[in-house]
C-alpha cells in the first residue's frame, strides 16, 4: 500500500523515479502496486505508459481494465470509462479486456439494486459495440449468465428469451455459447438444451449440447 501511494505521487512529479522503484520489485508485486493505485485523470496517460513498460504483457490489459471497471461502477459510467480508454489510447486488446471487466462490474452493481432489464442490455451492447465490435456477442452472453445470480437475479426463462432475441438480431453464436456456458445454464438443462438448438454453427452447437448432458 505504501509503494502504491508513492508511485501514485511519483507518476505526476517524477515518472522516471516511479519506473525505477517498480523495476526493483518482483513482477507480481509490481502488478499489485499499479493495480491498487488511484490515478486522477490528468495522470492516466502517464500511468498507462508505466503499465505498458513495467508489467509483463499478460498483466497489462488486466491492470488497465481495472480502472475502467472502477469508473463504470460510478454514475455516468459509460462516458467516464470511454473517456478513460480514449485518454490512455487503449489498444484493441486493452479495450476488449476493459469492456468485459467494466460490464461485469456495472451489472454486478445493478443486480444488487434491482433486476437487470432489456434496456440495460441494449445500452451495454451499444457501448461495447463502440469499444470492441467483435466482442458484443460474447459480452452479452456472459452478462446474461451473470444476471442469473445475485439478490435481484433474472429468471432463466427471461435471460433465455433475451439470448434468443440478441442471437436472432445479430446471428452471432457467441451470445448463446457464452450464455449456455454459465453454471446457471447447467442448472436449467431442459430449457438450456432448447436454446442450444438455436446455435447456427453445427460444431459449436454439438459441443454445447454435449456439455449440457
Is the pLDDT at 69 greater than 90? The verdict is: yes
User: What is the C-alpha to C-alpha distance for residues 134 and 137, in angstroms, rounded to an integer?
Assistant: 7
Work out the mean pLDDT of the chain and round it to a whole number. 93
Contacts of 9 (CB under 8 A, 6+ apart): none
pLDDT band at residue 201 under the 50/70/90 scheme: very high
Which among 122, 208, 201, 202 is positioned nearest to 165, based on CA atoms? 122
Is the pLDDT at 68 greater than 90? The verdict is: yes
Q: Please, is 13 exposed, middle or buried when counting C-beta atoms within 10 Å of its C-beta (0-12, 13-18, 19+)?
A: exposed
pLDDT band at residue 38 under the 50/70/90 scheme: confident
Which among 30, 50, 28 is positioned nearest to 39, based on CA atoms? 50
Global confidence as pTM: 0.88
pLDDT at 119: 97
pLDDT digits (tens, 9 = 90+) for 126-154: 999 999 999 999 999 999 999 998 889 99
Amino acid at each position: 500500500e505504501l509503494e502504491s501511494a508513492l508511485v501514485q505521487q511519483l507518476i505526476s512529479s517524477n515518472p522516471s523515479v516511479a519506473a525505477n522503484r517498480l523495476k526493483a520489485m518482483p513482477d507480481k508485486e509490481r502488478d499489485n502496486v499499479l493495480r491498487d493505485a488511484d490515478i486522477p485523470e490528468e495522470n492516466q496517460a502517464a500511468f498507462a505508459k508505466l503499465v505498458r513498460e513495467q508489467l509483463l504483457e499478460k498483466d497489462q490489459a488486466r491492470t488497465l481494465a481495472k480502472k475502467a471497471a472502477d469508473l463504470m461502477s460510478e454514475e455516468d459510467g459509460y462516458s467516464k470509462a470511454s473517456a478513460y480508454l480514449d485518454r490512455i489510447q487503449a489498444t484493441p486488446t486493452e479495450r476488449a479486456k476493459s469492456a468485459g471487466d467494466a460490464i461485469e462490474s456495472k451489472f454486478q452493481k445493478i443486480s444488487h439494486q434491482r433486476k437487470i432489464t432489456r434496456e440495460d442490455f441494449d445500452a451495454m451492447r451499444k457501448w461495447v459495440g463502440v469499444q470492441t465490435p467483435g466482442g458484443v456477442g460474447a459480452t452479452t452472453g456472459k452478462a446474461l449468465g451473470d444476471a442469473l445470480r445475485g439478490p435481484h437475479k433474472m429468471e432463466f426463462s427471461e435471460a433465455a428469451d433475451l439470448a434468443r432475441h440478441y442471437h436472432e438480431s445479430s446471428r452471432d453464436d457467441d451470445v448463446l455459447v457464452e450464455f449456455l456456458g454459465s453454471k446457471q445454464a447447467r442448472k436449467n438443462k431442459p430449457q438450456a438444451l432448447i436454446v442450444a438448438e438455436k446455435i447456427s454453427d453445427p460444431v459449436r452447437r454439438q459441443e454445447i449440447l454435449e456439455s449440457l448432458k
